[in-house]
C-alpha cells in the first residue's frame, strides 16, 4: 500500500459538497483516499502522519484557465503604464516583444511564472504559447497544464506556415503525466477562416481542447462585419491584412465554433448571448482595459460553465488566481461565494478537460489541495461561511500540495531532499493522527 497520511483542516471546502468544519483529508500516494469528519476506518492504522491545519481553510488547487507565461517579460509594460493603452497599441507592444525577446528570456519568464503560479496555489494551468514554446518548461514542473500552441495568420502564406509548425508540435505528442496539448487559433481578426476550420477539425479528431480569444474589444465586430476600424489599420501596418481570409462576420464565427461544445471562448467581453462552449473570463485584465460590465453571471444562471484566468502579465498585475476570484466577489456581489470558488477550481478543470482528476476534493482524484492559514483573531468570526471568508480577506495561500506531495509548507518551498512533512515518521516532531 502506498504511503498514507492525512490533514486535519479547520475548514475543508471540497467544492463537490458543503464545507466541513474539522474535516480530515486522507491521502494515499498521489491520490485522495477519502475525507470526512474523522480519518475513515480503513486508513486509520496505515495513516502515519496527520498534519495539523486546524488553523486553516483547505480547498482544491486553483485553476488558472488562461494565461501566456511566455509574455512574463512584459510585466514592466503593464506596471509602467499609467493609463491602459488603446487595445491596438497594446497589441503592437505584444507583437514587438514577441519579435525581439530572446529564447533564454522568455524561457526564464515561463519558469518564473510557474513558480509564481504555484506559490499562489495554482496547480492546473491553461497556457497559450507562441510555437508551443512553454511546453518543455511546464513538462519539467510539478504543475498540471494544457499547453495550447498558438496559431496565427490571416494571409495564406502565414496561415500555412503556422499550421505546419503546429502539426509538427502536435506530432511530439507524448504521455507526459502532467501536460496535455491543445491548439489556440489566436482570435477571429488574426486567423484565416480556413485555419480556424483546420484547427477545429484537428482538435475534434484528436480530442484536444481548442481555445480562442473572442470579442475582447468592440473593434473585433467592426472588423468582421464591416472590414474596417483600428484592427484593420493594425493588421495593414504589420503587413498581415488579407480581406479574403477573414471570417464572414461574427455570426459565421458562432456557427463555425458551434460544431464543437468543447471550444473554450476566452474574454467574450462584448457578446450578448452566451457562447455555445466553455467560457474563460479574466476579470482584472477586463477591468484594466476598462471594458463594460461582463455578462458572465447571467450566462452562468443559464447553464454556462465559466472559469477564471489571469491572462498574461502584459495585462494582469500578477498570476494570482485567488486575486481574480476575490475581484469577482467584490465587484459582482450577485454571484455567491461558493459559485466564485467553483469558477476558480472545478469550472477551470472542466473547461480544460481535467475534471476527472482535479478540481474538487473527492476520493480517487489527485491530491491537489491548498491551505490558507487564518489569523487567530479572525478565526472566531468565520462562523459557517468559510468560502465568504476566503474571498473577503486578503490572506495568502500558505500550503500547496500537488499529487500528494507538499511543495509549499507554511509559505516556504519544501526542498526534495529535506525531511518532508508528509513523510515524517510518527513522533518525528509532526503531529500524529491522535495528536
Provide long-range contacts, Cβ within 8 A and 24+ apart, for 389-393.
389/57, 390/13, 390/57, 390/59, 390/322, 390/337, 390/341, 391/325, 391/326, 391/329, 391/337, 391/340, 391/341, 392/326, 392/329
Per DSSP, the residues of 328-385 read: HHHH-TTS-HHHHHHHHTHHHHHHHT-TTTSSS--TTSB--EEEEEPPHHHHGGGTT-
Measured from the CB of residue 155, what is the shortest distance to Zn ion in angstroms? 22
247, 249, 252, 253: CA torsion to nearest 10: 70
| CB closer to Zn ion, 43 vs 148 | 148
| CB closer to Zn ion, 66 vs 405 | 66
Measured from the CB of residue 258, what is the shortest distance to Zn ion in angstroms? 22
Measured from the CB of residue 129, what is the shortest distance to Zn ion in angstroms? 11
- Residue nearest Zn ion by beta-carbon distance: 311
Q: Do 346 and 359 meet the contact criterion of CB atoms below 8 Å apart?
A: yes
Helix axes 193-206, 250-257, angle to 10 degrees: 20
| CB closer to Zn ion, 311 vs 320 | 311
| CB closer to Zn ion, 311 vs 387 | 311
Measured from the CB of residue 354, what is the shortest distance to Zn ion in angstroms? 19
**Please, which of residues 268-287 interact with Zn ion by CB under 5 A?**
none
Q: Do 35 and 25 meet the contact criterion of CB atoms below 8 Å apart?
A: yes
Measured from the CB of residue 311, what is the shortest distance to Zn ion in angstroms? 5
| CB closer to Zn ion, 43 vs 281 | 281
Measured from the CB of residue 152, what is the shortest distance to Zn ion in angstroms? 12
Would you put residue 311 in left (φ > 0), alpha (ψ -120 to 50) or beta? Answer: left
| CB closer to Zn ion, 56 vs 210 | 210
Give backbone dihedrals phi and psi of 227, rounded to 5 degrees, phi first. 55, 40
Cβ neighbours of residue 287 closer than 8 Å, sequence gap 6 or more? 327, 331
Q: Do 310 and 320 meet the contact criterion of CB atoms below 8 Å apart?
A: yes
| CB closer to Zn ion, 70 vs 311 | 311
In this structure, how many other beta carbons lie within 10 angstroms of the beta carbon of residue 165?
16
Measured from the CB of residue 66, what is the shortest distance to Zn ion in angstroms? 6
**Please, which of residues 173-192 interact with Zn ion by CB under 5 A?**
none
Measured from the CB of residue 309, what is the shortest distance to Zn ion in angstroms? 7
**Please, which of residues 300-339 interact with Zn ion by CB under 5 A?**
311
| CB closer to Zn ion, 116 vs 357 | 116
Separation between Cα atoms, residue 411 and residue 312, nearest integer Å: 24
Q: Do 268 and 218 meet the contact criterion of CB atoms below 8 Å apart?
A: no
> How many binding residues for Zn ion (CB under 5 A)?
1
**Under the rule (CB under 5 A), what is the footprint of Zn ion?**
311
Amino acid at each position: 500500500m502506498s504511503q498514507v497520511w492525512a490533514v486535519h483542516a479547520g475548514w475543508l471546502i471540497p467544492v463537490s459538497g458543503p464545507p466541513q468544519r474539522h474535516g480530515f483529508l486522507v491521502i494515499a500516494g498521489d491520490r485522495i483516499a477519502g475525507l470526512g469528519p474523522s480519518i475513515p476506518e480503513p486508513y486509520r492504522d496505515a495513516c502515519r502522519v496527520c498534519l495539523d491545519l486546524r488553523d486553516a481553510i483547505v480547498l482544491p488547487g486553483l485553476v488558472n484557465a488562461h494565461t501566456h507565461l511566455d509574455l512574463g517579460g512584459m510585466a514592466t509594460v503593464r506596471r509602467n503604464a499609467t493609463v491602459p493603452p488603446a487595445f491596438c497599441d497594446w497589441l503592437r507592444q505584444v507583437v514587438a516583444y514577441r519579435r525581439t525577446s530572446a529564447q533564454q528570456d522568455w524561457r526564464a519568464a515561463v519558469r518564473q511564472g510557474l513558480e509564481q503560479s504555484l506559490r499562489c496555489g495554482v496547480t492546473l494551468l491553461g497556457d497559450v504559447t507562441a510555437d508551443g514554446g512553454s511546453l518543455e518548461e511546464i513538462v519539467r514542473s510539478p504543475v498540471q497544464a494544457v499547453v495550447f500552441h498558438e496559431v496565427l495568420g490571416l494571409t495564406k502564406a502565414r496561415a500555412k506556415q503556422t499550421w505546419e509548425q503546429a502539426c509538427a508540435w502536435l506530432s511530439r505528442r507524448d504521455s507526459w503525466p502532467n501536460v496535455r496539448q491543445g491548439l489556440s487559433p489566436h482570435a477571429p481578426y488574426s486567423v484565416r477562416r480556413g485555419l480556424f476550420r483546420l484547427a477545429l477539425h484537428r482538435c475534434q479528431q484528436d480530442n484536444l481542447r481548442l481555445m480562442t480569444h473572442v470579442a475582447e474589444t468592440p473593434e473585433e465586430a467592426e472588423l468582421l462585419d464591416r472590414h474596417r476600424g483600428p484592427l484593420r489599420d493594425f493588421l495593414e501596418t504589420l503587413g498581415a491584412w488579407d480581406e479574403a481570409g477573414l471570417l464572414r462576420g461574427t455570426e459565421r464565427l458562432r456557427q463555425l465554433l458551434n460544431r464543437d461544445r468543447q471550444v473554450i471562448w476566452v474574454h467574450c467581453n462584448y457578446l450578448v448571448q452566451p457562447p455555445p462552449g466553455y467560457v474563460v473570463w479574466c476579470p482584472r485584465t477586463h477591468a484594466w482595459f476598462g471594458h463594460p460590465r461582463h455578462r458572465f453571471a447571467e450566462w452562468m444562471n443559464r447553464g454556462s460553465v465559466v472559469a477564471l484566468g489571469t491572462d498574461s502579465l502584459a495585462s494582469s498585475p500578477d498570476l494570482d488566481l485567488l486575486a481574480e476570484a476575490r475581484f469577482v466577489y467584490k465587484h459582482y456581489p450577485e454571484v455567491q461565494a461558493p459559485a466564485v470558488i467553483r469558477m476558480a477550481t472545478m469550472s477551470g478543470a472542466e473547461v480544460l478537460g481535467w475534471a476527472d482528476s482535479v478540481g474538487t476534493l473527492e476520493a480517487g482524484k489527485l491530491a491537489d489541495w491548498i491551505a490558507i492559514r487564518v489569523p487567530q483573531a479572525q478565526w472566531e468570526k468565520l462562523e459557517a461561511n468559510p468560502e465568504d471568508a476566503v474571498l473577503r480577506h486578503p490572506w495568502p495561500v500558505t500550503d500547496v500540495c500537488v499529487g500528494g506531495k507538499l511543495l509549499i509548507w507554511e509559505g516556504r518551498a519544501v526542498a526534495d531532499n529535506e525531511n518532508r512533512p508528509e513523510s515524517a515518521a510518527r513522533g518525528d516532531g509532526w503531529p500524529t493522527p491522535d495528536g
